[in-house]
Amino acid sequence: MNLTKQIQLALILKGFKCGNPDGIMGALTENAIIEFKISVGLKARAYVGPITLKKLGIVRQSKTNDLIPWLNEMSKQMGLTEFDSALKKWLRSDGGTVGNPEDIAWCGDAMHTSIRNSMPNEIFTGRVKQNPYLAKNWLEFGNETKPLYGAIIILWRKSKRSMYGHIANVIGYDPVKKRYRIRGGNQSNMVCDTWVDAHRVRGHGFRVPKTFVGTLPPLPIMNSRGAVISTNEA
């Protein structure tokens, strides 16, 4: 039984409606998670971490996020907005920052901070070393990989040929709607999860740090029906 199905069954037992417990993370399940978290005094967000699992009575079977250092670092910031001093302090914690996140796109800053803080031996070269705050430059980062859980995903904005883009971690896939679930910064002005259309991924746009010695797991299959789709993360 996958973790999503465990969560769905636990929610149903506690009286929260999330539809059929099919093991697929969709809008109904996310809404039920938010309602449950509000009921137990947690932040109203769909992110399920160790505290939420404990409240649901679920014993964590794996620590996948912990084995993907940069994703784990990003996940710790979930829910922080660009107006929060805690976020600004975190963005500076790697020794540099793009500037005030209230005034400038900071998705690259969030990714750079996640990598620097969790994988200090990772070497940055080329354009990403010169300017890690421009999402497109991350096409030169690390090694190319397949779309796997936790991989760094690089997207275009406005048009495929534009310099504008977005960078995040990919954490799920909807094969029906052809959408990726991503976790990153500067998404609705905060660190959170959102959906993006798969056609926005740049060529060679899935990356992994060169010093990462683990194996990324397959992407969980999710359901994005009825979800809000992000088209511009600026």
For 221, list phi and psi in degrees, rounded to 5.
Answer: -85, 130
pLDDT in tens, 176-188: 999 999 999 999 9
pLDDT of residue 182: 96
Mean pLDDT of the chain: 92
For the chain, domains (ranges, CATH) are: 3-56 (no CATH), 69-208 (3.90.1720)
pLDDT of residue 59: 66
CB 19 within 8 A of CB 11: no
The pTM is what? 0.78
pLDDT in tens, 71-91: 999 999 988 999 999 999 999
Strands (E) in the chain, as ranges, are 143-144, 152-156, 165-174, 179-187, 190-197, 201-208
pLDDT of residue 69: 94
pLDDT of residue 147: 98
More confident residue, 4 or 33: 33
pLDDT in tens, 19-28: 888 888 889 9
**How sure is the predictor about 42, in pLDDT bands with cuts at 50, 70 and 90?**
very high
Find the distance separating the first CA and the last CA of the chain, reported in whole Å: 38
pLDDT of residue 234: 66
pLDDT of residue 79: 87
CB 10 within 8 A of CB 32: no
